[in-house]
Amino acid sequence: MKKNFISLLMLLPGFLAFPQTSMLKFEPVSFSKVNITDNFWKPKMTLVATKTLNACIYQTETATPRIKNFINVAKNDGQKHQGIFFDDSDVYKAMEAMAYSLKNNPNPELEKKADEWIDIIAAAQQPDGYLNTYFTLEKNQKRWSDMDKHEDYCAGHMIEAAIAYYNTTGKRKFLDVAIRVANHIDSTFRLQNRHWISGHEEIEIALVKLYKNTGNKKYLDLADWYLQQRGHGYYSSNPATQDYYQDKLPLKEQTQITGHAVRAMYLYTGAADVGATKNDSAYMNAMQLVWEDVVHRNMYITGGIGSSGKNEGFTIDYDLPNEQAYCETCASVGMIFWNQRMNTLTGDAKYTDVLERSLYNGALSGLSLSGDRFFYGNPLASTGNHKRSEWFGCACCPSNISRLISSLGDYVYAKNETGIWVNLFVGSDTKILLGKNEIALKMETNYPIDGQVKILVNPSKTSIFKLHIRKPGWCSATAVPGGLYNFDATSLAPSVIKLSVNGKPVIATEEKGYFILDRTWKKGDVVEYSMSMEAKRVVARNEVQSDKGRVALQRGPLVYCVEGADNNGKALDFIFPGNAAIVEKPYSVVDEKVVALTADVPIFTISTDGLSARTIVSQITAIPYYSWCNRGSNQMQVWLPTRINDIKANY
């Protein structure tokens, strides 16, 4: 009876089992325990819960055959698969976003729709646990024969969705389907030691989550087994192919980022999860080296990654073109996943600095202000040939940005047995248990409009613990860890930071990018944290040829761009001299309230033969990058030329 009780306990919502020793410095506080009240993020979460998820549901059920494929599997009447072979994954990501949204915004109709989908999905599962509509409808005799056909990628997203839905609703049906799929994969591969490379990583992340939610170690071992398959030539002996699939070297020996950006992010997130849970420092050492290669040499100022559309990923160091930048929305979402893991493994705020950069710029740009238009790629310049789309044939990005924003609370707070970490400045409240003491926190802020933060601390009983508050990287003289981007000479002065408790200034110790308040806390304590938020010019390292002679503008965590919609239809006809005074002003992009940056600069009209130019001094307006292209296609640039010869330069 006791054994059965423990097994049941391990499957209760929110239960995390850690029989292994963990390397984690602290653990994130689950989004389900964080109530977002933020003026910036709460409206976006509501938008996702309504407009974005409605778009996902419409596209999944009506405009495309994604759900129909599952129905046809259950019918078993000879219907052929319609769409792309990995379309199942979009259904699962939408389901995961629905689960998170139901936790934040309970909606009986949305839950009814989710249950309807789960019934359809469960009916398509095969007797041995296999579940993939493409192979079941098209090539049932050839399943698990092509490493690049995304069978385990789809399975991974299904497992993540099932866990999210179970933890939100307590309903087991979808979770039971996921467990059967995981057991099928384990018996097919690990238990037989049948060599297999996942063509598109994701299953590794999902299996660690399944282990943590069930306590069954075989799922953790299977995730580790997947990681250890790489670097032995099981997929291909072609070096180019090995690079594309992150398969040239065993994972623990990798030091450089290669290949497809999204696949890489999911792989390294899974490696961090396995390394932390299995206390395997070799994974951690490799992840730190690969991270440095990404952030120091291969990341855009927006936190976007993947410069090439040809391979949807990486090329050579410092190859960061602007108009041709691929910067897939999903890759920025993956950067957020990976950097959160790196932060919890090391306790170093520099990883959250990168997470924040990707969140507010590279990822958020992928979602329109209306919530129903999307970017697949996120360029840093445009001559007017980029536009947002209602949907895509390969529709990974809409549901991915949906599940990210719906689970935003996962990234705000963290804790261990001695203290609490404030990682992101998002208006919210939560209750965190330290030992037997429940600590109620309430954060009030208008971030990223300004840098004023108030944290109300209310422990259930007076106690000593440490409150760690992140000092954002944008407050320092270096824009990005590693120096790929730096604030220029006019912007070198660090932001002014003030910290007080109960109205009295305090001097806090600083460690790994956090201010630490180690004190006796009592009910009613108030922490006030002020970061001056000046607009700053940013320059790139000389090795980045695309940004030579150019500057970018950043204010707080937000990167800015100049868009034609605010500048008489033009955004490529001016230079931004070093002495241009930047003025901040309240502004609206559609209905989005932002702080715009304005400056008086020389604007040029160049003759058709390129031999002469007419110059006038006029005001330009720059807006946050995430808000661009919400008023139709038009010109845009992030990196502003400082020399006339660069105006017509190719991006």
Report the catalytic residues.
312, 396
Which of 455, 361, 465 has its CA nearest to residue 412?
455
Q: Please tell me whether residue 348 adopts helix, strand or coil conformation.
A: coil
Which of 209, 235, 213 has its CA nearest to residue 149?
235
Contact 565, 637 (CB under 8 A): no
Dist. CA 9–CA 273, nearest whole Å: 23
Contact 320, 247 (CB under 8 A): no
Q: What are phi and psi of 39, to 5 degrees?
A: -70, -25
Dist. CA 631–CA 387, nearest whole Å: 10
Q: Please tell me whether residue 504 adopts helix, strand or coil conformation.
A: strand
Give the burial string for 177-196 (b: 16+ CB within 10 Å, else e): bbbbbbbbbbebbbeeeeeb
Q: Residue 419 corresponds to which amino acid? A: G
Q: Residue 578 corresponds to which amino acid? A: G
Contact 412, 324 (CB under 8 A): no
First to last CA, the chain: 68
Dist. CA 563–CA 648, nearest whole Å: 16
Rg over CA atoms, the chain: 25
Handedness of CA 607, 609, 612, 613 (dihedral sign): positive
Q: What is the 3-state secondary structure (H, E, C) of 396-445?
A: HHHHHHHHHHHCHHHHCEEECCCEEEECCCCCEEEEEEECCEEEEEEEEE
H/E stretch holding 150 = none
Q: Please tell me whether residue 630 adopts helix, strand or coil conformation.
A: coil
Q: At what angle do helices 173-188 and 217-228 cross, to 10 degrees?
A: 50
Dist. CA 570–CA 572, nearest whole Å: 6
Q: Please tell me whether residue 594 adopts helix, strand or coil conformation.
A: strand
Q: Please tell me whether residue 493 adopts helix, strand or coil conformation.
A: coil
Dist. CA 256–CA 242, nearest whole Å: 13
Give every CB contact of residue 426 below 8 A, 6+ residues apart in sequence. 36, 38, 40, 41, 408, 412, 443, 445, 447
Dist. CA 98–CA 166, nearest whole Å: 12
